[in-house]
Amino acid sequence: MAFDPNDNPCVICGPDNPIGLRTRWEAKDGQADAEVAVPDNFQGWRGVVHGGLVAALLDEAMWYATYSRTRASVLTVSLQARYHRPTPVSQRLHVHGQVLSTRHHLTECTAEVRDGETGVVLASARGRFMPDKSR
């Protein structure tokens, strides 16, 4: 089964997910970028995006960066997130992921969530991805 990024139920990027973010990614040459404003129904503490959703945005950025390089569906092997500052709800965020290297079928990436106005890094991550053999 081939992966179609426009036909999926993903809470981050699925275009038909009624409760999802429907984030649109620009991805090429091992890099991925998106602009998103997370609505307040995804908050943890009042006014702050839930940390799990921030991690999901970071994961998604790295996934799309890897997909743009390999054109193969991949699975997350590991994800290490760091939260630098609270990520505000309902404000424009810029999410960026990039491939660092690929060795032995493992692709290593980094990602950042930045304030869309100031460019301040709010969260960052490193991750590893491997081909999804089931697709």
What does the alpha-carbon distance between residue 21 and residue 23 come to, in Å, rounded to a whole number?
5
Q: For the stretch 103-125, what's the b/e string if a residue is b when 16 or more beta carbons lie within 10 angstroms of its beta carbon? A: eeeebbbbbbbbbbeeeeebbbb
pLDDT tens profile 9-21: 899 998 888 999 9
Query: Of the CATH numbers 3.10.129.10, 3.20.20.100, 3.40.390.10, 3.40.50.300, which one belongs to the domain with range 29-131?
Result: 3.10.129.10
* Dihedral sign from CA coordinates of 73, 98, 54, 57: negative
pLDDT tens digits, one per residue of 21-68: 999 999 999 999 999 999 999 999 999 999 999 999 999 999 999 999
pLDDT recorded at residue 1: 39
What digits encode the pLDDT tens for the residues 50-62?
999 999 999 999 9
CB burial string 9-37: b at 16+ within 10 A, e below: ebebbbeeeeebbebebebeebbbbbebe
> pTM here?
0.93
For the chain, domain boundaries: 29-131
What pLDDT is recorded for position 5? 57
